[in-house]
Amino acid sequence: MKMSRRSKTVAITFALTVTCAFIVPAADRAAHAAPLCGPLIEFENIADLPADCDPTGTQIEFENGVVLDVPTEPDRLVTVSALGRTPSEGYELSAYLDESFNLAAADDGTVLGSSPSAARTLSDELANGGEQESAPRRASPKCATNAPYLLNRKWAAKRYDWYYNNSGAPVSGGREAMQRAAASVSTGRSSSCGNRDSALITSNRGTTSRSSQVTRDGTCPVVGDNVNVVGWGPIDSSVLGVACSWAAIAPGLRLESDIKVNSNYKNWYVSGSSCSGQRYDLESLAVHEFGHAGGLGHVGDDESQIMKPFINQCNLSQRSLGRGDQNGLLRHYGSA
């Protein structure tokens, strides 16, 4: 099945190359006629790929064992972000195919490319959403004005319209918790640092029977379905939530962001009496995931921002944005 899909991709790519031969540079045509670089490329080998192999339709295996499909069309970026229970469990991985069919990938802070320009483009994209300005990364208290943030691609229309799928939810009240979290991100809500309202709108357009496009391996399919879905499903690792995002870098478009909460974990705290014991707060997790959906990336392990890659048990202050989270959203969208 996979082989035939790859063969088809090659055939389509070849047909396109012939059709468009008059506008495609010679080097790209050569790359297309070349054998696949895969099927499976180890992340650490990306910079050493043969110059004439074709990465479309292959897969990248990262050091933690998570695999991402390489985009099948040029200028596509896919990013998977997982929220763990410990700093080492969380991950943020990206695969990018540039307009010349060069490959780049990112494993948390490390970016490698089959060409220097693809690696540079991906670095800029993941550090600051393609804006040529670096964000502060220094460790700092939750509300320090220079608290860290990372910008991934933003929504050009300043809107994240999402649908909710309650199927598989092990607790009740999930949709309301998601709506509260979405509102916190769009309004920059923070009981600790003071509210700072960005112009981002996050709007729950209703419920859906569509699944969020996150696999049970805790990774993203090669393309989404152009509908932003927040939902539940089993993920076969101990991460608690995963966000998948797709973007086209050249025109500056964020295309889709989906969120899946791991339904294998049943002991979510939602609301009511005080949270106690070894439980995770659903709203806190959702604030983090809507941060991704709004275009933020993970910051360092020991940060007090919501975009740190792990979540603590029963710490409801994680529902409240840090100044870095707020600054990131304000940089992306401006003030409301």
By CB under 5 A, name the one of 56, 81, 186, 304 that touches Zn ion. Answer: 81
d(Cα 195, Cα 322) in Å, to the nearest integer? 10
Indicate whether 262 belongs to the interface with Zn ion (CB under 5 A): no
By CB under 5 A, name the one of 46, 60, 70, 83 that touches Zn ion. Answer: 83
- Give the SS3 label for residue 110: strand
Residues 88-117 close enough to bind Zn ion by CB under 5 A:
none
| Nearest residue (beta carbon) to Zn ion | 81
Please check whether residue 145 is in contact with residue 320, taking contact to mean a CB–CB distance below 8 angstroms: no
d(Cα 93, Cα 15) in Å, to the nearest integer? 31
Give me the least distance between CB of 308 and Zn ion, in Å please. Answer: 8
Nearer to Zn ion, 101 or 149 (CB): 149
Give me the least distance between CB of 284 and Zn ion, in Å please. Answer: 12
Please check whether residue 318 is in contact with residue 288, taking contact to mean a CB–CB distance below 8 angstroms: yes
Nearer to Zn ion, 56 or 228 (CB): 228
d(Cα 322, Cα 302) in Å, to the nearest integer? 13
**How many Å is the Cα radius of gyration of the chain?**
20
Nearer to Zn ion, 98 or 325 (CB): 325
Please check whether residue 188 is in contact with residue 329, taking contact to mean a CB–CB distance below 8 angstroms: yes
Which range binds Zn ion by CB under 5 A, 28-36, 73-81, 119-127, 259-267? 73-81
Nearer to Zn ion, 104 or 299 (CB): 299
Widest pairwise Cα distance in the chain: 68
Site string for Zn ion, 205-224 (x = CB under 5 A): --------------------
d(Cα 322, Cα 300) in Å, to the nearest integer? 13
Give me the least distance between CB of 88 and Zn ion, in Å please. Answer: 14
Give me the least distance between CB of 104 and Zn ion, in Å please. Answer: 20
Give me the least distance between CB of 309 and Zn ion, in Å please. Answer: 6
Phi, psi of 160 (to 5 degrees): -120, 105
How far is residue 2 from each of residues 46, 54, 95, 326, measured CA to CA in Å? 22, 16, 19, 43
Give me the least distance between CB of 233 and Zn ion, in Å please. Answer: 17
Nearer to Zn ion, 105 or 296 (CB): 296
d(Cα 297, Cα 124) in Å, to the nearest integer? 13
Which range binds Zn ion by CB under 5 A, 75-83, 149-157, 250-258, 314-322? 75-83
Nearer to Zn ion, 56 or 81 (CB): 81
Q: Which of 220, 238, 217 is nearest to 229 (CA)?
A: 220
| Interacting residue ranges for Zn ion, rule: CB under 5 A | 81, 83
